[in-house]
């Protein structure tokens, strides 16, 4: 029950109770929770307090309001492993999701300038950019840079819907031995926002990924721009996943 003597606001206490019941399975995904009036009566509080608790869980993506139907527990977002040489697409496919990719910029050898976080800054690298759509919704943009000496002739390969890990292993006999990633919340520029179907002010997950090979460190670098409104992006600790 609610503790009126606690410094924690009543609406926050109620939100914690509802969340615990959701996590325990008492209110499973897709089910409607009790109406505001019933919750108010059950916990002997006013409806405005109940409304605050529900709004808090709605803002966290736990609940969703459906006009004329009530408030429901949202389906959990699919979790996708970000630590993969082929840019998470294999992780989507392993979950049975329909994935398509489209080249935004064809691969070419370019001189990299003005990108401090890019290990190829001031030098040359093969570069291409592609958009991943999942269940026909744009989800992810990958800007990828490849070591020119380790990937000769890569500009002759069709990369639109090929796994980069397969190409690296089958064509170049390369497998990453380690890597690292950095994460931040940012916003997309006009071009990326348009391709992702979001506004420039929409927060997105920006990931910078560095993959090391026996032959060279930072041989593959990528900048990922991820929508997070449909999927949870995760990282499995202890090693890299290669699709």
Looking at the predicted structure, is the pLDDT value of residue 242 above 60?
no
CA–CA separation, 150 and 176 (whole Å): 12
Which residues, at least 6 apart from 194, have a Cβ–Cβ distance to it below 8 Å? none
Output the CA torsion sign for 211, 214, 215, 216: positive
Q: Tell me which H or E stretch contains 127.
A: strand 124-134
Let me know if 44 is exposed, middle or buried by CB neighbors in 10 A (0-12, 13-18, 19+).
exposed
Could you tell me the domains of the chain?
10-73 (1.10.10.10), 78-234 (3.40.1410.10)
For the entire predicted model, the pTM comes to: 0.62
Q: What percent of the chain has pLDDT over 70?
A: 86
pLDDT score recorded for residue 165: 79
Phi, psi of 97 (to 5 degrees): -95, 145
Band (pLDDT 50/70/90 cuts) for residue 24 is: confident
Output the CA torsion sign for 188, 189, 193, 196: negative
CA–CA separation, 30 and 241 (whole Å): 31
Band (pLDDT 50/70/90 cuts) for residue 94 is: low
Whether residue 159 contacts residue 107, with contact meaning beta carbons closer than 8 Å, is answered with yes
Q: What is the pLDDT of residues 48-85, one digit of tens each?
A: 999 999 998 988 778 999 988 999 998 765 554 444 54
């Amino acid at each position: 029950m609610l503790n009126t003597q606690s410094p924690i606001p009543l609406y926050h206490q109620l939100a914690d109770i509802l969340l615990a019941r959701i996590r325990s399975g008492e209110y499973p995904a897709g089910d409607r929770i009790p109406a505001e009036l019933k919750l108010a009566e059950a916990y002997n509080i006013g409806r405005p307090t109940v409304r605050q608790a529900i709004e808090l869980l709605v803002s966290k993506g736990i609940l969703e309001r459906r006009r004329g139907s009530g408030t429901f527990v949202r389906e959990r977002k699919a979790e996708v492993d970000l630590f993969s040489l082929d840019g998470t697409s294999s992780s989507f496919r392993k979950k049975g999701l329909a994935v398509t990719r489209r080249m935004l910029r064809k691969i070419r050898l370019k001189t990299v300038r003005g990108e401090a976080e890019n290990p190829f800054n001031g030098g040359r690298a093969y570069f291409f950019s592609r958009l991943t759509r999942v269940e026909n919704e744009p989800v992810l943009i990958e800007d990828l840079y490849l070591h020119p000496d380790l990937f000769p002739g890569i500009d002759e390969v069709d990369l639109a819907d090929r796994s980069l890990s397969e190409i690296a292993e089958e064509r170049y006999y390369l497998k990453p031995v380690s890597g690292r990633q950095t994460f931040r919340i940012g916003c997309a520029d006009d071009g990326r926002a348009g391709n992702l179907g979001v506004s420039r002010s929409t927060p997105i997950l920006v990931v910078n990924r560095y993959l090391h090979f026996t032959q060279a460190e930072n041989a593959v670098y990528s900048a990922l721009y991820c929508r997070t409104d449909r999927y949870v992006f995760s990282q499995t600790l202890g090693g890299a996943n290669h699709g």
